[in-house]
Amino acid sequence: MKRTILIDSNYIGYKAALTTGFLQYDETKTGTMYGFFNQLFMLKKEYPNSNLVFFWDSKKSERKKIFPGYKNRKKDLTEEEEQEWEKVFRQFNLLKNRILPWVGLNNQFRQRGYESDDLIAQYVFNKRKDEKVVVATADDDLLQLLDYCDIFNLGKNKLFTRKIFMDQWGIAPKQWGTVKQIAGCKSDTVPGVPGVAEKTAVKYLLGNMNKNTKTYKKIIENKKLIDFNAQLVILPFKGANAVNMQISTDSFQSKAFLDVCRKYDWHSFRNKKRRRAIKELFN
């Protein structure tokens, strides 16, 4: 059965930047784009009969309007480090605006003020009943979607299903958002109830906490914080349905991809055996 693979494109890009980002051709950094395609071909090998749909983060954030501390991860970077990250973001833009369309991968979505998570969630909630969807990401915020899809964890190269999640956590995936409300989200710098981690939040939701403990009382006392966090952590953020997400069948152009490989001197994609294997992935 044909599957739709919803790709957290920014995650793949960051992962590529940290693994093959050092690659360059003629003093131009190309490693982020190279690693991005490596990951795509891995996904197509895992799900050969599939359509790839790419979701990108917006630079602007609607969440920051209500909580300025959202994703406030900035560290003191040297001028050289800032320049290197600029080269990474430049490759993101090349992928979005030129290279993916050039090779016939046209299903790309982005909405000003929203994250790929929001658009992925909106797609999942509105998918056809008979449509099989797999989300490709390593962002655990998206675990709350497992009632409606599967998730292929790109960090662990492992498939997560609703059953696997429930066996691990003992709650329904839709409750994961509530866990994040209580425990917060470190990666997004959303503060939770002080001293309460995800396992403790799950214990609370299951009714397995002693009501006389300091931790239980702390959760009760922080109801205002927990309620506020809902708008930050539960997907999708309000307004994400503004994007018209109609997808078309992939029309990957092997010749165009070969042109890209020549342009950036990607030798490993150009040998006959690899070219044949890539072409077969999209047939």
Question: Model-level pTM?
Answer: 0.94
pLDDT value of residue 245? 83
Q: Domain locations in the chain? A: 3-172+243-276
Distances (CA, A) of 26 to 84, 86, 264: 16, 18, 9
- Percent of the chain residues topping a pLDDT of 90: 85
**Mean pLDDT, the chain, integer:** 94
For residue 72, the one-letter residue type is N
Confidence of residue 82 (pLDDT cuts 50, 70, 90): confident
Residue 77's pLDDT is 72
Whether the pLDDT of residue 108 is over 80: the answer is yes
Peptide bond into 236 cis (omega under 30): yes
The superfamily CATH assigns to domain 3-172+243-276 is 5'-nuclease (3.40.50.1010)
Tell me, what's the pLDDT at 244?
73
Tell me the average pLDDT across 5-11: 97
